């Protein structure tokens, strides 16, 4: 079992969501498994529109140096948890999305 030590300055404000993403990255990094982000599009959107939007997000991430693959219309895969964490912080697409393991 891998131990993770986290040092937090008690006087500095802490953004809990970023800390959770950071811990997620640390824990997944040791597993060396493909990790994913799944977009939650409205049911009224066609699969073609979802596929195109997911592709555009993947292309924008690639331009930032984050490589992805797209196994289906609503999912992006990352080789490392680090890449997924950076993507979670960089994506601003107007649709909700979740990290999937």
In a domain, 76, yes or no: yes
Domain assignment of residue 2, yes or no: no
52 part of a folded domain: yes
Q: What is the pLDDT of residues 67-98, one digit of tens each?
A: 999 999 999 999 999 999 999 999 988 889 89
Phi, psi of 40 (to 5 degrees): -110, 85
Report the residue count for the chain. 101
Residue 71 phi, psi (nearest 5): -75, -25
- 10 occurs within a structural domain: no
Question: Residue 41 falls within a domain, yes or no?
Answer: yes
Strands, sheet with 75-78, edge to edge from the N-terminal-most edge strand: 69-72, 75-78, 35-39, 97-100
Beta strand pairing call for 69-72 and 35-39? unpaired
Q: Could you list the residue range(s) of the whole structural domain that residue 38 is in?
A: 33-100
Flag whether 38 is in a domain: yes
Query: How many structural domains compose the chain?
Result: 1
Q: For the segment 27-54, what is each residue's pLDDT rounded down to a tens digit?
A: 555 555 789 999 999 999 999 999 999 9
Task: Note the pTM of the prediction, 2 decimals.
Answer: 0.67
The CATH number given to whatever domain includes residue 76 is 3.30.70
| Inside any domain, residue 90 | yes
**Position 1 in a domain:** no
């Amino acid at each position: 079992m891998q131990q993770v030590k986290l040092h937090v300055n008690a006087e500095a404000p802490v953004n809990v969501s970023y800390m959770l993403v950071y811990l997620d990255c640390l824990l997944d990094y040791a597993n060396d498994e493909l990790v994913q982000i799944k977009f939650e599009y409205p049911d009224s959107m066609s699969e073609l529109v979802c596929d195109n939007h997911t592709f555009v997000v993947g292309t924008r991430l690639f331009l930032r140096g984050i490589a992805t693959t797209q196994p289906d219309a609503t999912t992006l895969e990352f080789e490392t948890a680090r890449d997924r964490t950076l993507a979670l912080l960089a994506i601003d697409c107007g649709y909700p999305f979740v990290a999937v393991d």
